[in-house]
Chains A and B, each alone.
Chain A
Amino acid sequence: MSARKTLQAKPEEGDKYSVLLPTYNERENLPLIVWLLVKYFEESGYNYEIIVIDDGSPDGTLEVAVQLQNIYGGDKILLRPRPTKLGLGTAYIHGMKHATGNFIFIMDADLSHHPKFIPEFIAKQKEGDYDLVSGTRYRGNGGVYGWDLRRKLISRGANFLTQVLLRPGASDLTGSFRLYKKKVLESLVERCVSKGYVFQMEMIVRARQLNYTVGEVPISFVDRVYGESKLGGNEIVSFVKGLLTLFVTT
Protein backbone atom coordinates (compact mmCIF):
# COMPACT_ATOMS: atom_id res chain seq x y z
CA MET A 1 0.00 0.00 0.00
CA SER A 2 1.20 3.51 -0.70
CA ALA A 3 2.95 5.11 2.25
CA ARG A 4 1.23 8.35 1.34
CA LYS A 5 -2.30 7.12 2.05
CA THR A 6 -2.53 9.20 5.22
CA LEU A 7 -2.02 12.35 3.18
CA GLN A 8 -4.09 11.44 0.23
CA ALA A 9 -7.72 12.42 -0.06
CA LYS A 10 -9.63 10.46 -2.63
CA PRO A 11 -9.82 12.47 -5.85
CA GLU A 12 -13.38 13.73 -6.06
CA GLU A 13 -15.30 13.81 -9.26
CA GLY A 14 -15.35 17.29 -10.66
CA ASP A 15 -12.38 18.82 -8.82
CA LYS A 16 -9.80 20.15 -11.21
CA TYR A 17 -6.62 22.02 -10.34
CA SER A 18 -5.26 24.70 -12.66
CA VAL A 19 -1.62 25.61 -12.05
CA LEU A 20 -0.73 29.16 -13.05
CA LEU A 21 2.93 29.53 -14.04
CA PRO A 22 3.94 33.08 -14.88
CA THR A 23 7.32 32.88 -16.58
CA TYR A 24 10.04 35.28 -17.59
CA ASN A 25 13.28 33.83 -18.94
CA GLU A 26 12.67 30.35 -17.56
CA ARG A 27 13.79 28.42 -20.59
CA GLU A 28 15.88 26.03 -18.51
CA ASN A 29 13.52 25.64 -15.59
CA LEU A 30 10.18 25.38 -17.37
CA PRO A 31 10.58 21.81 -18.67
CA LEU A 32 11.73 20.70 -15.23
CA ILE A 33 8.89 22.27 -13.28
CA VAL A 34 6.38 20.91 -15.79
CA TRP A 35 7.92 17.42 -15.55
CA LEU A 36 7.65 17.54 -11.75
CA LEU A 37 4.08 18.86 -11.86
CA VAL A 38 3.03 16.11 -14.24
CA LYS A 39 4.78 13.50 -12.10
CA TYR A 40 3.05 14.44 -8.85
CA PHE A 41 -0.35 15.11 -10.36
CA GLU A 42 -0.36 11.83 -12.30
CA GLU A 43 0.72 9.92 -9.20
CA SER A 44 -2.02 11.49 -7.11
CA GLY A 45 -4.75 11.00 -9.67
CA TYR A 46 -6.10 14.54 -9.43
CA ASN A 47 -7.37 16.24 -12.55
CA TYR A 48 -5.13 19.15 -13.57
CA GLU A 49 -3.93 21.59 -16.18
CA ILE A 50 -0.82 23.76 -16.33
CA ILE A 51 -1.20 27.30 -17.68
CA VAL A 52 2.03 28.96 -18.78
CA ILE A 53 1.85 32.75 -18.89
CA ASP A 54 5.00 33.89 -20.58
CA ASP A 55 5.71 37.62 -20.74
CA GLY A 56 7.57 37.75 -24.02
CA SER A 57 10.73 36.11 -22.67
CA PRO A 58 13.66 36.88 -24.95
CA ASP A 59 15.33 33.55 -24.13
CA GLY A 60 12.75 31.48 -25.99
CA THR A 61 10.75 30.20 -22.99
CA LEU A 62 7.61 30.16 -25.10
CA GLU A 63 9.23 27.94 -27.72
CA VAL A 64 10.11 25.41 -25.01
CA ALA A 65 6.54 25.67 -23.72
CA VAL A 66 5.23 24.74 -27.17
CA GLN A 67 7.48 21.65 -27.20
CA LEU A 68 6.12 20.67 -23.79
CA GLN A 69 2.62 21.08 -25.11
CA ASN A 70 3.44 18.63 -27.89
CA ILE A 71 4.82 16.14 -25.40
CA TYR A 72 2.10 16.31 -22.76
CA GLY A 73 -0.92 17.40 -24.74
CA GLY A 74 -2.75 20.64 -25.28
CA ASP A 75 -5.33 19.73 -22.66
CA LYS A 76 -2.67 19.52 -19.95
CA ILE A 77 -0.40 22.38 -21.01
CA LEU A 78 -2.11 25.63 -21.92
CA LEU A 79 -0.25 28.64 -23.24
CA ARG A 80 -1.42 32.16 -22.46
CA PRO A 81 1.53 34.33 -23.48
CA ARG A 82 1.71 38.11 -23.27
CA PRO A 83 3.85 40.42 -25.40
CA THR A 84 5.88 42.09 -22.62
CA LYS A 85 6.67 41.88 -18.92
CA LEU A 86 3.53 42.97 -17.12
CA GLY A 87 2.52 42.57 -13.48
CA LEU A 88 1.92 39.38 -11.52
CA GLY A 89 -1.66 40.29 -10.68
CA THR A 90 -2.57 40.76 -14.32
CA ALA A 91 -0.76 37.50 -15.14
CA TYR A 92 -3.07 35.67 -12.74
CA ILE A 93 -6.13 37.38 -14.19
CA HIS A 94 -5.00 36.58 -17.71
CA GLY A 95 -4.21 32.98 -16.85
CA MET A 96 -7.48 32.43 -15.04
CA LYS A 97 -9.62 33.63 -17.91
CA HIS A 98 -9.49 30.26 -19.65
CA ALA A 99 -8.75 28.08 -16.64
CA THR A 100 -11.17 25.17 -16.41
CA GLY A 101 -10.24 24.17 -12.87
CA ASN A 102 -12.28 25.06 -9.80
CA PHE A 103 -9.05 25.36 -7.84
CA ILE A 104 -5.98 27.39 -8.75
CA PHE A 105 -2.37 26.78 -7.71
CA ILE A 106 0.03 29.64 -7.93
CA MET A 107 3.74 29.01 -7.66
CA ASP A 108 7.14 30.08 -8.95
CA ALA A 109 8.46 28.48 -12.10
CA ASP A 110 12.11 28.60 -11.02
CA LEU A 111 12.07 25.36 -9.01
CA SER A 112 12.12 27.16 -5.65
CA HIS A 113 8.66 25.67 -5.05
CA HIS A 114 8.47 21.89 -5.31
CA PRO A 115 5.37 20.18 -6.74
CA LYS A 116 5.77 17.34 -4.23
CA PHE A 117 3.79 19.51 -1.80
CA ILE A 118 0.77 19.64 -4.09
CA PRO A 119 -0.98 16.59 -2.60
CA GLU A 120 -0.40 18.12 0.86
CA PHE A 121 -1.98 21.38 -0.21
CA ILE A 122 -4.97 19.52 -1.61
CA ALA A 123 -5.38 17.40 1.51
CA LYS A 124 -5.15 20.47 3.73
CA GLN A 125 -7.73 22.31 1.67
CA LYS A 126 -10.16 19.43 1.91
CA GLU A 127 -9.53 19.05 5.63
CA GLY A 128 -11.03 22.43 6.45
CA ASP A 129 -12.63 23.42 3.15
CA TYR A 130 -10.21 26.34 3.21
CA ASP A 131 -10.69 29.20 0.79
CA LEU A 132 -6.96 29.42 0.45
CA VAL A 133 -3.98 27.33 1.53
CA SER A 134 -0.64 29.07 1.92
CA GLY A 135 2.76 27.41 1.82
CA THR A 136 4.85 28.54 4.77
CA ARG A 137 8.62 28.48 5.14
CA TYR A 138 8.44 29.57 8.76
CA ARG A 139 6.39 26.89 10.55
CA GLY A 140 6.49 23.15 11.07
CA ASN A 141 9.21 21.59 8.97
CA GLY A 142 9.05 24.35 6.42
CA GLY A 143 12.38 25.96 5.63
CA VAL A 144 14.80 27.30 3.07
CA TYR A 145 17.90 26.04 1.32
CA GLY A 146 20.58 28.38 0.03
CA TRP A 147 20.14 31.39 2.29
CA ASP A 148 23.04 32.91 4.21
CA LEU A 149 22.70 34.46 7.66
CA ARG A 150 22.04 37.95 6.31
CA ARG A 151 19.19 36.75 4.12
CA LYS A 152 17.63 34.75 6.94
CA LEU A 153 17.88 37.70 9.30
CA ILE A 154 16.21 40.04 6.81
CA SER A 155 13.50 37.50 6.11
CA ARG A 156 12.67 36.80 9.75
CA GLY A 157 12.97 40.45 10.67
CA ALA A 158 10.64 41.53 7.91
CA ASN A 159 8.19 38.79 8.79
CA PHE A 160 8.26 39.79 12.47
CA LEU A 161 7.55 43.42 11.58
CA THR A 162 4.70 42.28 9.37
CA GLN A 163 3.22 40.12 12.12
CA VAL A 164 3.37 42.97 14.63
CA LEU A 165 1.86 45.57 12.32
CA LEU A 166 -0.70 43.52 10.44
CA ARG A 167 -1.46 40.55 12.73
CA PRO A 168 -2.45 38.63 9.61
CA GLY A 169 -3.16 35.20 11.06
CA ALA A 170 -0.76 33.56 8.61
CA SER A 171 2.91 32.87 9.24
CA ASP A 172 4.33 33.45 5.75
CA LEU A 173 2.91 36.48 3.99
CA THR A 174 5.39 36.94 1.20
CA GLY A 175 5.31 33.33 0.06
CA SER A 176 3.85 32.68 -3.38
CA PHE A 177 3.13 28.96 -3.31
CA ARG A 178 -0.60 28.84 -2.70
CA LEU A 179 -3.81 27.06 -3.51
CA TYR A 180 -6.96 29.11 -3.96
CA LYS A 181 -10.56 28.32 -4.73
CA LYS A 182 -10.98 29.87 -8.15
CA LYS A 183 -13.75 32.25 -7.09
CA VAL A 184 -11.67 33.41 -4.13
CA LEU A 185 -8.61 34.17 -6.27
CA GLU A 186 -10.77 36.05 -8.76
CA SER A 187 -12.30 38.25 -6.09
CA LEU A 188 -8.96 38.92 -4.38
CA VAL A 189 -6.90 39.78 -7.45
CA GLU A 190 -9.41 42.44 -8.42
CA ARG A 191 -8.94 44.21 -5.10
CA CYS A 192 -5.16 44.10 -4.80
CA VAL A 193 -3.10 47.00 -6.03
CA SER A 194 0.44 46.37 -4.74
CA LYS A 195 3.43 45.01 -6.62
CA GLY A 196 6.03 42.35 -5.97
CA TYR A 197 6.34 40.87 -2.48
CA VAL A 198 3.70 43.19 -1.15
CA PHE A 199 1.14 41.91 -3.67
CA GLN A 200 1.28 38.45 -2.08
CA MET A 201 0.97 40.03 1.37
CA GLU A 202 -1.99 42.11 0.30
CA MET A 203 -3.76 39.01 -1.04
CA ILE A 204 -3.73 37.39 2.39
CA VAL A 205 -4.61 40.56 4.26
CA ARG A 206 -7.61 41.14 1.98
CA ALA A 207 -8.58 37.49 2.27
CA ARG A 208 -8.76 38.00 6.03
CA GLN A 209 -10.79 41.15 5.60
CA LEU A 210 -13.30 39.27 3.49
CA ASN A 211 -13.42 36.51 6.11
CA TYR A 212 -11.94 33.88 3.85
CA THR A 213 -10.39 30.93 5.69
CA VAL A 214 -6.66 30.35 5.37
CA GLY A 215 -4.88 27.04 5.92
CA GLU A 216 -1.13 26.48 5.98
CA VAL A 217 1.24 23.79 4.73
CA PRO A 218 4.97 23.80 5.59
CA ILE A 219 7.08 23.87 2.43
CA SER A 220 10.76 23.80 1.61
CA PHE A 221 11.99 26.67 -0.53
CA VAL A 222 15.13 25.92 -2.55
CA ASP A 223 16.59 29.19 -3.66
CA ARG A 224 17.87 29.65 -7.17
CA VAL A 225 19.06 26.42 -8.56
CA TYR A 226 20.62 28.13 -11.51
CA GLY A 227 21.75 31.47 -10.21
CA GLU A 228 22.06 34.04 -7.51
CA SER A 229 19.09 35.69 -5.85
CA LYS A 230 19.80 39.14 -4.51
CA LEU A 231 17.93 41.10 -1.93
CA GLY A 232 19.21 44.64 -2.23
CA GLY A 233 18.46 47.91 -0.47
CA ASN A 234 15.88 48.89 -3.07
CA GLU A 235 13.77 45.83 -2.45
CA ILE A 236 13.90 46.32 1.30
CA VAL A 237 12.80 49.95 0.95
CA SER A 238 9.91 49.10 -1.33
CA PHE A 239 8.90 46.27 1.00
CA VAL A 240 8.74 48.64 3.98
CA LYS A 241 6.81 51.20 1.94
CA GLY A 242 4.35 48.52 0.87
CA LEU A 243 4.00 47.21 4.42
CA LEU A 244 3.29 50.70 5.78
CA THR A 245 0.75 51.28 3.03
CA LEU A 246 -1.07 48.10 4.01
CA PHE A 247 -0.83 49.13 7.67
CA VAL A 248 -2.51 52.44 6.96
CA THR A 249 -5.09 51.29 4.44
CA THR A 250 -6.33 47.91 5.66
Chain B
Amino acid sequence: MTKLMEWLFGVSVVLAAWVLIAFDPLDLSVPHTYREVAFPMPLYLLVSFGCYSLATVGYRVATFNDCQEAAEELQAQIKEAKQDLRRKGLKI
Protein backbone atom coordinates (compact mmCIF):
# COMPACT_ATOMS: atom_id res chain seq x y z
CA MET B 1 0.00 0.00 0.00
CA THR B 2 1.39 3.37 -0.93
CA LYS B 3 1.38 6.26 1.54
CA LEU B 4 -1.37 7.89 -0.49
CA MET B 5 -3.53 4.78 -0.18
CA GLU B 6 -2.89 4.58 3.56
CA TRP B 7 -4.02 8.19 3.90
CA LEU B 8 -7.11 7.67 1.77
CA PHE B 9 -7.99 4.61 3.80
CA GLY B 10 -7.50 6.42 7.10
CA VAL B 11 -9.48 9.44 5.94
CA SER B 12 -12.32 7.20 4.69
CA VAL B 13 -12.55 5.43 8.03
CA VAL B 14 -12.68 8.73 9.93
CA LEU B 15 -15.22 10.20 7.50
CA ALA B 16 -17.41 7.11 7.69
CA ALA B 17 -17.39 7.22 11.48
CA TRP B 18 -18.24 10.93 11.36
CA VAL B 19 -21.16 10.50 8.97
CA LEU B 20 -22.49 7.60 11.01
CA ILE B 21 -22.46 9.48 14.29
CA ALA B 22 -23.18 13.04 13.18
CA PHE B 23 -25.96 12.29 10.72
CA ASP B 24 -27.22 8.92 11.89
CA PRO B 25 -28.17 7.83 8.36
CA LEU B 26 -28.98 4.30 9.48
CA ASP B 27 -31.37 5.52 12.16
CA LEU B 28 -29.48 3.86 15.00
CA SER B 29 -30.93 6.39 17.48
CA VAL B 30 -27.55 7.97 18.15
CA PRO B 31 -27.99 10.19 21.24
CA HIS B 32 -28.35 13.89 20.42
CA THR B 33 -25.30 14.92 22.44
CA TYR B 34 -23.09 12.53 20.45
CA ARG B 35 -24.36 14.02 17.22
CA GLU B 36 -23.76 17.54 18.45
CA VAL B 37 -20.20 16.78 19.48
CA ALA B 38 -19.40 14.77 16.38
CA PHE B 39 -20.69 17.27 13.86
CA PRO B 40 -17.91 19.89 14.05
CA MET B 41 -15.18 17.29 14.61
CA PRO B 42 -13.61 17.32 11.14
CA LEU B 43 -13.19 21.07 11.35
CA TYR B 44 -11.81 20.84 14.89
CA LEU B 45 -9.37 18.15 13.85
CA LEU B 46 -8.15 20.20 10.89
CA VAL B 47 -7.70 23.31 12.99
CA SER B 48 -5.96 21.33 15.74
CA PHE B 49 -3.63 19.78 13.21
CA GLY B 50 -2.91 23.22 11.81
CA CYS B 51 -2.06 24.55 15.26
CA TYR B 52 0.06 21.51 16.04
CA SER B 53 1.97 21.95 12.80
CA LEU B 54 2.67 25.62 13.42
CA ALA B 55 3.73 24.98 17.00
CA THR B 56 5.97 22.06 16.05
CA VAL B 57 7.70 23.81 13.16
CA GLY B 58 8.02 26.99 15.24
CA TYR B 59 9.58 25.08 18.11
CA ARG B 60 11.95 23.24 15.81
CA VAL B 61 13.09 26.43 14.12
CA ALA B 62 13.63 28.12 17.47
CA THR B 63 15.69 25.23 18.81
CA PHE B 64 17.64 24.59 15.62
CA ASN B 65 21.24 24.22 16.76
CA ASP B 66 23.65 26.87 15.49
CA CYS B 67 26.97 25.15 15.22
CA GLN B 68 29.23 28.07 15.97
CA GLU B 69 32.12 25.99 17.32
CA ALA B 70 31.93 23.61 14.39
CA ALA B 71 32.40 26.52 12.00
CA GLU B 72 35.34 27.89 13.98
CA GLU B 73 36.96 24.48 14.30
CA LEU B 74 36.62 24.05 10.55
CA GLN B 75 38.28 27.39 9.83
CA ALA B 76 41.20 26.50 12.08
CA GLN B 77 41.58 23.09 10.47
CA ILE B 78 41.48 24.62 6.99
CA LYS B 79 44.50 26.76 7.89
CA GLU B 80 46.32 23.77 9.31
CA ALA B 81 45.45 21.66 6.27
CA LYS B 82 46.68 24.28 3.81
CA GLN B 83 50.04 24.55 5.56
CA ASP B 84 50.47 20.82 5.77
CA LEU B 85 49.48 20.29 2.15
CA ARG B 86 51.88 22.95 0.96
CA ARG B 87 54.65 21.20 2.85
CA LYS B 88 53.70 17.94 1.23
CA GLY B 89 54.05 19.56 -2.18
CA LEU B 90 50.54 20.56 -3.18
CA LYS B 91 50.41 23.47 -5.58
CA ILE B 92 47.13 25.35 -5.35
Contact = CB atoms under 8 A, between A and B. Distances in A.
A149 B2 CA distance: 34
B90 A31 contact: yes
Nearest to B89: A71
A6 B61 CA distance: 32
Nearest to A167: B3
Contacts of B78: 32, 111, 225
B28 interface: no
B66 A145 contact: yes
Nearest to A33: B81
Contacts of B33: none
B71 A160 contact: no
B68 A36 contact: no
Contacts, number: 93
Given A35-B81, A36-B81, A111-B74, A149 B88 contact: no
A249 B66 CA distance: 35
- Across the A-B interface, the 9 shortest Cβ-Cβ residue pairs: A143-B65, A220-B70, A220-B67, A35-B81, A145-B71, A145-B67, A156-B60, A143-B67, A248-B4
B67 A144 contact: yes
Contact of B70 (A114, A156, A166, A167): A114
Interface residues of B, number: 29
Interface of B: 2-4, 7, 53, 56-57, 60-61, 64-68, 70-71, 74-75, 77-78, 81-82, 84-85, 88-92
Contacts of B66: 143-145
B67 A153 contact: no
A197 interface: no
Interface string A142-159: 111111010011011101
Given A36-B77, A142-B65, A143-B66, A160 B3 contact: no
Kindly name the residue among A137, A156, A221 whose own CB sees the greatest number of chain B CB atoms within 10 A: A156
A247 interface: yes
24 contacts: A32-B81, A32-B82, A67-B90, A68-B90, A70-B89, A71-B89, A143-B65, A143-B66, A143-B67, A144-B65, A145-B70, A146-B71, A149-B61, A153-B61, A160-B53, A164-B53, A165-B3, A220-B65, A221-B67, A222-B74, A225-B74, A247-B2, A247-B4, A249-B2
